[in-house]
Structure 1
């Protein structure tokens, strides 16, 4: 007789778990509180549908802040494994110039979701909509729509705390805390960071990207670009520094980042180009010799004292290490992802809750962090497949 598995939540973690569970051993049911599944999956696809990242596994693992907790899962189901599986079910992928992995050109996010759901249906996975988890009964059975659910295994795939409009609101956190399960408050990650721009600068440069830059914080460096917004900065060059910025904001109520406007050149080379230029006007030198964009030049002009802007050594130093103070971060609901949730010490190495046997948590519910670019989805997939194979092997 098949054992009953209840998966609570209808996002990517739930899909991958259900896809890799052995349907000959288990009757698999996904319980989703909304009228449809995969809403956050589709919203994420609007900004560039990164399915995973193509960098070597040993480098990819270093992108996660989880104290090595995710390593076994990420090694068990690599980005190559993920791409191979997607291809097998009918979603071919390609590697973009940024090394991010996308569905083959022309395939929309809704089509990817449809293919995955079709695969699950063919496997016999049942999806029940408008079914909401609220608590546990006195026997530790999960309560869904005010009814205790009798299962052999329960897997919580309830998501993080960002993008409430999709249903991923993190409202489950208090319920788990009251149960005595160790949790951490949600914090925004991969979000915009507040900078007190001068009015003149923001009026001229709002919405313009700072391209081909490197941003550092606490000795961690992230290359890419960042968009100037009225709130501050956002984009891949700053998202990857979320852990370091959060730590400084928490300890000092402010954070300092440093922008390298010309990461392709050394400080010595920048200094040499300025000093040897035939142009007399400093702004012309920056524009013609160093190819700095208008927002970069404006930042230097507005922020530096006149004597520093006109001093070759000082100007070169600021081009390579321009300081900016961050005074806050965007709200959780505006963030792409969150950190916090189930404390990793509350789980076994196989993601089982130590307080409740045969109940597990996976995906973004767990307290780990990663930058955008396919890393978030890769970890959701990896934890799900690792858990599925553990259950398959032990039943």
Structure 2
């Protein structure tokens, strides 16, 4: 490089921070602007009880988690793989391990530990400049960015601009989706933000609400529109949450949008065939229905409350095939998604149709977009975070390529 190149990154979440980390390797001057008083707030909240960095499954299966964007993310994730993410964490001083579910965690588990190491590495670099409490207000016609800082405006000019503004959930962390308007004025097409990896509202009966406040039903398979996920679900006074529900949430949400409600099928005994369930509920002929289900199938009180919400108990006493069928296909109707601000992530945002393969704008390749503000969907379990890292890597790679460094 004949002159010092300046890159402005807007947004201090994992995508923005990792892009900064990669650019600094080549001594590029990086200015990172964050609207709140600290970086990585959503990263910290999400990783408070255990930070799931990525997932250890084969890449051929991994990339299918990105749905309609599988082909695009196959390229991004092959360029920066889950193993690359593990090695990066090790580079910072964080060892990882693979859990029984295939998810990859830091050994210390807490997001705060890795963020501390991460920020130390950035701040120790002389070309890194952090600007907190700088909120992007608009973009001038000549391309300069205008920030609000301490009741005054600041104009920022750079050689390249990277937007890492997050989605529209967990507003208290700075991820509020307000960027849609001024990003559209750049000439970028966007899609409306919607809840993803979210819970759903169910109109439970008063009897159910008397029985259950909050409780987990573990090791079930949930299905919506032919798409299934295995894991646990949480029953709440307002509806359904939990990892398995989040994994199919986009399908349930879309059905609600299209027809006004979404049907979720729950297989309460996925390791047993219909015939095996039928045999078990038929064996204990003289037991009460509850004892038959508790002793024969190992259903606890939370699972029983869910089953009884759907079951016609009189019919189940005499029609064992009906009983077995409902156990294997317990249908719950979701009426609404929970508020978007409660969602773990959001769908919608910047459309890939407006971007080049390297995530720069087609009409002005000095502007880039990374992370959750891109219009893609990925479930929890490390896939969403891997997508943020891999898109950030892609942009850093593109800029370094343009600069021949």
Q: TM-score, normalised to structure 1's length?
A: 0.96
Q: Provide structure 2 residue ranges, at least 5 long, that are not aligned to the other structure.
A: none
Q: Provide the C-alpha distance between the structure 1 equivalents of 2:124 and 2:259, rounded to a whole number of angstroms.
A: 54
Show the counterpart of 2:260: 253
For the residues of structure 2 that align with 1:312 and 1:73, how far apart are their CA atoms? 51
The whole-number CA distance in structure 2 between the counterparts of 1:35 and 1:306 is 56
State how far apart, in whole Å, the 1-side matches of 2:87 and 2:313 are.
57
Judging changes above 3 Å, is the alpha-carbon distance between structure 1 residues 281 and 90 closer, same or farther for their aligned structure 2 residues? same
After superposition, where does 1:384-395 map in structure 2 within 5 Å? 384-395=392-403
State the match for 2:147 in structure 1: 144
- 1:324 maps to which residue? 332
Shift of 1:148: 3.1
Match of 2:270 in 1: 263
Give the count of matched residue pairs. Answer: 394
1:126 pairs with 2:133: no
CA distance in structure 2 between the aligned counterparts of 1:275 and 1:186, rounded to whole angstroms: 49
Residue of structure 1 aligned with 2:184, choices 164, 173, 177: 177
**Which of 14, 17, 41 pairs up with 2:16?**
14
Taking the aligned partners of 1:330 and 1:278, their CA distance within structure 2 comes to 42
1:1-395 matches, within 5 Å, as 1-67=3-69, 68-105=71-108, 108-124=110-126, 125-145=128-148, 146-277=153-284, 279-310=286-317, 311-395=319-403
Kept in 1, the 8 Å contact 2:233–2:241? The answer is yes
Between 264-273 and 252-261, the greater mean CA deviation after superposition: 264-273
Q: 2: distance between equivalents of 1:321 and 1:24?
A: 56
Deviations 1:119-152 (A, max 9, x none): 1123332111122212111212222233332211
Distance 1:81 1:119 in 2: 18
Distance across 1 between alignment mates of 2:96 and 2:78: 20
CA gap 1:119/1:287 in 2 versus in 1, 3 angstroms: same
- 3-state secondary structure, aligned to 2:389: helix
Structure 2 SS opposite 1:64: helix
Q: CA deviation at 1:28?
A: 1.1
> Match of 1:118, SS?
helix
On the 8 A contact 1:185/1:340 being kept in 2, the answer is: yes
1:109–1:300: structure 2 CA closer, same or farther, 3 Å change rule? Answer: closer
Deviations 1:23-50 (A, max 9, x none): 4452111111112111111111124311
CA distance in 2, matches of 1:342, 1:262: 41
Summarize the Cα distance change of 1:200–1:307 in structure 2 as closer, same or farther, 3 Å threshold. closer
Is 312-321 or 295-304 further displaced after alignment?
A: 295-304
Superposed CA RMSD in Å reads 1.5
Contact 2:229 2:248 in 1 (8 A): yes
> Deviation per CA, 1:176-209, whole angstroms, max 9, x where unpaired?
1233321111111111101111111122112110
How far, CA to CA, are the matches of 1:306 and 1:377 in structure 2?
44
Q: What SS class does the counterpart of residue 256 from structure 2 fall into? A: helix
In 2, the alpha carbon distance for the partners of 1:343 and 1:307 equals 52
Deviation at 1:355, TM superposition (A): 3.0
1:69-108 Cα deviation digits (max 9, x unpaired): 3221111111111001101110111112222111113x53
Structure 2 distance, partners of 1:237, 1:279, is: 35
Judge conservation of contact 1:50–1:100 (CA < 8 Å) in 2: yes
Deviations 1:278-304 (A, max 9, x none): 553222111111111112223333422
Q: In 2, Cα distance between the equivalents of 1:389 and 1:182?
A: 24
Q: Secondary structure at the match of 2:217?
A: strand
3-state SS of the aligned residue for 2:221? strand
- 1: CA distance, partners of 2:38 / 2:388: 19
Secondary structure class of the residue paired with 1:225: strand
- Looking at structure 2, the residues matched to 150 and 66 of structure 1 have their Cα atoms a distance apart, in angstroms, of 36
In 2 relative to 1, CA 357–300 (structure 1 residues): closer, same or farther, beyond 3 Å? closer
